[in-house]
Structure 1
Amino acid sequence: MLHHTTNSSTDLLIRFLHIVIILSFTGAYLTGDIEEWHHIHMAFGYTLGISLILRVLWQFFAPRLAHTQPSGISRRLNVIKPFVKRYGAQPQQWVSPAFLKAASSSLFQLSILGIFCLLPLTVLAGFFTDYTHSHSLKEVHELFANLFLTSVLLHLAALTLNSVLLKKWLAKRMFWGEDPHSWFTLFASVLSLGMLVAFWLWYFS
C-alpha cells in the first residue's frame, strides 16, 4: 500500500536520480579519453543533463504533488551559514568534536552545491566541444569534469567523516530509503526511467 509523506527529502525519485547521476558520471569520466567510446561518453553526458533537468523539475513538483520536501539550495545554505558564522571567528574551537561534526555536515552540503553547479557546466561544455570540435572548449570541459570529480570526492569524504562521527552510515538512506511514497512519486519514477531508457534506445538506434 502506498502512503503519503510530508517530510522526506530522499523519496523514491530522488534516490533513483542519485543512482543514475552516479553511474552516468562514472561512465562518462571513464570513457572520456577513449576515442572509440566517444559515442558512449556522449550518451552518459546527455543522461547527466536529463537527470539534472528531472531533478530540478522534481524540486518544484514534489511538494505540490508528491507531498515530499527535497532539499534545495536554501536548506543546504541553512546548514553552511550557521557553521561559518559560529566557527569563523573562533579558531580555538576547531579541534572540538562539535566543530568536526558541524564541519563535515557543512562540507557535505557544500559538495552537493558544487556538484549541481558544475554538472550543467560540464555537460554544456561537453556538448559544445562535440559540436564545434574546439580544442579550447575541450580543455574547459576537462577542467569542469575534474572540478566535478573533486566535488564528488569531497562529498564522499564528508559523508564518511560525518558517518563516523555520528556512528551511523548516512548513505544507506539514499540507496535503501524506507520512507513511504505516494502514487505520484512512483509514477514519476517509472516515467523518468522510461524517458531515460527511451533516450538510450533512440540514441543508439
Structure 2
Amino acid sequence: MLQRTTTSSTDLLIRFLHIVIMLSFTGAYLTGDAEEWHQIHMAFGYTLGISLILRILWQFCAPRLAHTQPSGPSRRLQVIKPFVQRYWAQPQQWLSPTFLKAASSSLFQLSILGIFLLLPLTVLAGFLTDYTYSHTLKEVHELFANLFLASVLLHLAALTLNSVLLKKWLAKRMFWGTESHSWFTLFAAIFSLGVLIAFWFFYLS
C-alpha cells in the first residue's frame, strides 16, 4: 500500500529524473562531434531541458502534493556556507578528517548547484546554435558543455571521497530506496516518463 512520507528528499521522481539527466548528458556529450548523430544529439539536449523543467516543477509541487521535500538551492547553500565560515581562516585544520568530510559534502553540494546552473545554459546555447548556425554560439555551447562535464566530475569525486570517509556508499539512495511513496509521487513519475516517451516518439517520427 502506498503511504505518505514527510522526510524523503530523494523520492521516486527525483531518482527517475536523476537517471534521465545522467544518461541524457552522457548521450549528448558523446554524440556532440558526430554530424551523423546530430538529430540524436539534439534529442538528448531537449530531454535535458524537459527534465530540468519537470525537476523545477517538482520542487514546488512535492511539498504541497507529495509531502516530500526535494533539496533546493537554499538547503545546499546551508551546507556550503558554514563550511566556508568555519574553515576558511583555519588552514591548520585542512588535513583533518573532520575538514575532509565537511569539504567533500560542501563540494558535492557545490557541484549540484553548478550542474543545475550550467544545464539550462548548455541547452539554450545548443538550441540557438542549431537555429542560427553561429560559430560563436557553437563555441559558447561547447564551453558550457565542458564546464557541465567538469561539474559532473567534481560531483563524482566529492561523492566518492565522502563515501570513503563515511564508509558507506552514498550513491545508492539516488538509484533505489525502501521508503513508501504517495500516490501523487507515483503519478508524477509515470506522467514524466510519458512526457519523455512522447517527446522522443514525435521528435524522431
Tell me the TM-score normalised to structure 1 length.
1.00
- Post-superposition offset of 1:176: 1.1
Q: Look up the SS of the partner of 2:68 in the other structure.
A: coil
- Post-superposition offset of 1:48: 0.1
- Post-superposition offset of 1:92: 0.5
- Post-superposition offset of 1:124: 0.0
Distance 1:177 1:75 in 2: 21
Structure 1 residue runs of 4+, over 6 Å off? none
For structure 2, the 5+ residue unaligned runs are none
1:16-75 per-residue CA deviation (whole Å, 9 max, x = no partner) reads 000000000000000000000000000000000000000000000000000000000000
1:144-182 per-residue CA deviation (whole Å, 9 max, x = no partner) reads 000000000000000000000000000001101222100
RMSD: 0.3
Aligned to 1:84: 84
2:56 corresponds to 1:45: no
Q: Look up the SS of the partner of 2:170 in the other structure.
A: coil
Distance 2:179 2:152 in 1: 25
- Report 1:61-100 matches (<5 A): 61-100=61-100
- Post-superposition offset of 1:136: 0.2
Aligned to 1:109: 109
- Post-superposition offset of 1:140: 0.1
The count of corresponding residues between Structure 1 and Structure 2 is 205
Distance 1:167 1:47 in 2: 35
Distance 2:100 2:180 in 1: 32
Distance 1:35 1:192 in 2: 29
- Post-superposition offset of 1:141: 0.1
- Post-superposition offset of 1:188: 0.2
Aligned to 1:2: 2
2:186 corresponds to 1:186: yes
